[in-house]
Amino acid sequence: MTAHRCFDPQAFRTALGTFTTGVTIITSCSEEGEVVGITANSFNSVSLNPPMVLWSLAKSARSLQTFSKARHWNVHVLSTEQEELSGRFARQGEDKFAGVRLDNGLSNAPLLQDCTARFQCRTAFQYEGGDHVIFVGEVLAFDHSERAPLAFQRGQYALTTRKPREELRLGCEPPPECSYTEDLLGYLLGRSHYQLLHALRRQLQSRQLDEHAFFVLSVLCIRDGLSLDELNAFVSYTGKPVQTTTLLFLERQGLIASERKGDETLYVLTAKGRECSLEEIALAKAVEEDVSSRLGSGDVEALKVLLKRLIASTDCGVPDLWGPR
């Protein structure tokens, strides 16, 4: 950890950026009916009784005069689906409310839709805070949803995931000792993968298919006309390369067809195979939706982001199915 004895504004800003916050849009309306809105992460709670919240605005902001004179303003805690909206309200020089759907609120301040939470407030106090003005508001009405909140950390948008409090595990039977620990990444990834695959495998077996057939049909559904070597280039990372016997089985089932092109045998999906592949994808989606309903959309979104980063950092050169041939 680096200690800064001489005050460096940029270093101070970086240090403040380590504090993860939510992302909000604050909106209001002038007496002349001009609506304003800004993106802010300075929002915080003040009191439960009476219900009060605060946020701060730079004295250099163009909207300061409107907010300073306004009797009402609304705070919108943004969801992960509203990242584009956050960027729009953080910029200057455009009609921020163009095409944005609004709800009717208690005041003329715009009330955005599809947020994680919303607070409709009456201005209670204003304070000088260095180069900012601090607005304290009394909450007149609020609502919230199960949408995952958008977060901001170190100058970038982030996703949040819930972590069980350790005390919730007190009183539980200790796990059996084994050669793995529950915090070993490979074990966690492997177990979660095979548990998901087990659920999918049961669905596939009812259609007399297995995961090998699933891989082949899924690849051919995206990139048709591949040789055995090309198929394996896409699935060999699974440790289970496609065998000729699997292709012969799928061909006998009428799901794929082979054609000669020079010295190579290429495999394409039949109409029956494409329909079967789409059914398989629907089964996989059903398994995913079942897991999502248990984890929650926010945790699932965060998990996907982390897995994509892990895949990118450990990629052994698997070609991109969606890329040029």
Locate tokens 């049961």: which residue? Answer: 202
Residue 91 parent element (H or E): none
Q: How far apart are alpha carbons 214 and 228 in whole angstroms?
A: 15
pTM of the model: 0.64
Asked whether 109 and 85 are in contact (CB, 8 A), the reply is no
| pLDDT (tens place) for every residue of the chain, 325 residues total | 555 566 677 777 777 777 778 899 999 999 899 999 999 989 999 999 999 999 999 999 999 999 999 999 999 999 989 999 999 999 887 789 999 999 999 999 999 999 999 999 999 999 998 899 999 999 999 999 988 888 887 777 777 766 665 544 445 555 555 455 567 888 888 888 888 877 777 766 766 677 777 788 888 888 889 999 989 888 877 788 888 888 998 999 899 999 988 888 999 999 998 888 888 788 788 888 888 888 877 778 778 888 888 888 888 777 776 666 5
- Residues 6 or more apart whose Cβ sits within 8 Å of residue 285: none
Q: How far apart are alpha carbons 56 and 117 in whole angstroms?
A: 19
User: Which of 118, 135, 117 minimizes the C-alpha distance to 126?
Assistant: 135
Locate tokens 């992302």: which residue? Answer: 23
